[in-house]
Amino acid sequence: MGCHLTNLSLLCPETGLARDSDLLIGDDGRIAAQGRGLATPAGFTRLDARGALCLPGLVNTHNHSPLMAVRGMVEDRGFAPAYIPGVPQGHWLSQEETLALARLGVMEMLTAGATTIVDYYRCPEALALAAEEFGLRAMVGGRVMDMDSAALARGEFVEDRALGEATLGAALEVMERWDGKGRISAILAPHAPDSCSRRIFAEMRDLAQAGGRQIHTHLSQSPMEVAQIRAREGMTPTEFLDDLGLLCPDLIAAHCIFMSEDDIARFGAAGSVVAHAPIGNASFGAAAPIRALQEAGAAITLCTDTKSADMFEAMRMALAAARWRAGPLQFEFDAREVFGWATTAGAAALKGHAATGRLRPGDPADLILLDPEAANLRPVIDGFGIVAHSGSAANVTDVMVAGEWLVRDRRPTRVDPAEVVATAQAVCEGLWRRAQP
């Protein structure tokens, strides 16, 4: 049965704010019509949204959902858990533990308004199971690496071919089993230039070219990575990927912070995609050169990278970080542009899913409603400003994907959230006990 949402304030990247609108959603999970005063045809249910702001579902382009295990505990200690001693590490996790943590991470992303996510880590089967359970669109992959995980946490780079074969095998298995199953698609995800050998990246390149797939990775996320690749390869991480033939529009690279002017020009000229993670970057005092990357030709998307699932906060931090880099009173970017990064830009940059980041007839009905009584969302003038500068994940009340309500009145419809939280809490407590000397 279709759905007819009435009394909405629709906010779309291309068309702006449309007050007092209706959305007619068909049984095929797509938007059938948008306008004012639409009739409710037979077989449709009329739902009054009480004037709620209705946005396209957010597209969160880079995450590792099991890393919720270290949130609140590592932000004061380093730039990424894999490189920090004395904290739980991914190679410790069983399939069951990974699933418990992934369920918590996916639930947070969904209830924060993300209808399409990219998620990769060890035990990728667990990531796919979690995404399928909650029902959102997810691009999942196995984190492939062949540098010893325990040594990385000590700042050492020791090649481990067995680890490389095992993680590559898990990645290929999840691709074979899950790609195209329901709302799940599979991705290729070598971890980073410093944690992967040239051999692993070459294998990823060959697989990507053979299957017409994108590669998701981290790039230039720390001075340590840059120093390691200079020592190992005699070039920067960006030059390394270019040397392998990986700089292209099918490269999705998170962070892109510590880049030279030549790196920026190379990356942009190739039309590669930045998964901009301003929250995580700022947590260790860094800000990516997003304006320069954009001007060079790179596509910009937005992600939370598991530090938080709040894409509203990410929009706000993206603006603050760009303006901090530019200097006082240099108003780099604006609310409308970062809103586009969180919706249409992310949808357009990623392959293998059906999302568009829009709310037009013919588009999938992937949408979120924001609390119409939230004081922080008033006054609404153009819509973009209040969402990007004042909005919060806590404002999300309802989430729909492909015409199905996955969150209603802030509660997931398919799962018991109390059970998800309790299970993940128990797993995390055990992992942190194990991490103590």
Same domain as 281, residue 153: yes
**Considering its fold, how many domains does the chain have in total?**
2
Whole domain around residue 44: which residue ranges? 2-56+365-412
Is 424 domain-assigned? no
Same domain as 228, residue 81: yes
Same domain as 208, residue 119: yes
Give, for all 437 residues of the chain, the pLDDT tens digit: 799 999 999 999 999 999 999 999 999 999 999 999 999 999 899 999 999 999 999 999 999 999 888 888 878 887 677 778 888 777 788 999 999 999 999 999 999 999 999 999 999 999 999 999 999 999 999 999 999 988 888 888 999 999 999 999 999 999 999 999 999 999 999 999 999 999 999 999 999 999 999 999 999 999 999 999 999 999 999 999 999 999 999 999 999 999 999 999 999 999 999 999 999 999 889 999 999 999 999 999 999 998 789 999 999 999 999 999 998 878 889 999 999 999 999 999 999 899 999 999 999 999 999 999 999 999 999 999 999 999 999 999 999 999 999 999 999 999 999 999 999 999 999 988 888 87
Is 358 domain-assigned? no
Question: Residue 63: what pLDDT?
Answer: 97
CATH number at residue 395: 2.30.40.10
pLDDT digits (tens, 9 = 90+) for 57-116: 999 999 999 988 888 887 888 767 777 888 877 778 899 999 999 999 999 999 999 999
Among 324, 349, 374, identify where a domain stops. Answer: 349
Same domain as 192, residue 85: yes
Is 8 domain-assigned? yes
Handedness of CA 318, 143, 177, 250 (dihedral sign): positive
Same domain as 217, residue 320: yes
Same domain as 78, residue 45: no
Same domain as 265, residue 121: yes
Same domain as 63, residue 16: no
Is 199 domain-assigned? yes
Same domain as 181, residue 281: yes
Question: Residue 69: what pLDDT?
Answer: 83
pLDDT digits (tens, 9 = 90+) for 290-311: 999 999 999 999 999 987 899 9
Same domain as 93, residue 49: no
CATH number at residue 65: 3.20.20.140
- Using only the alpha carbons of the chain, give its radius of gyration: 21
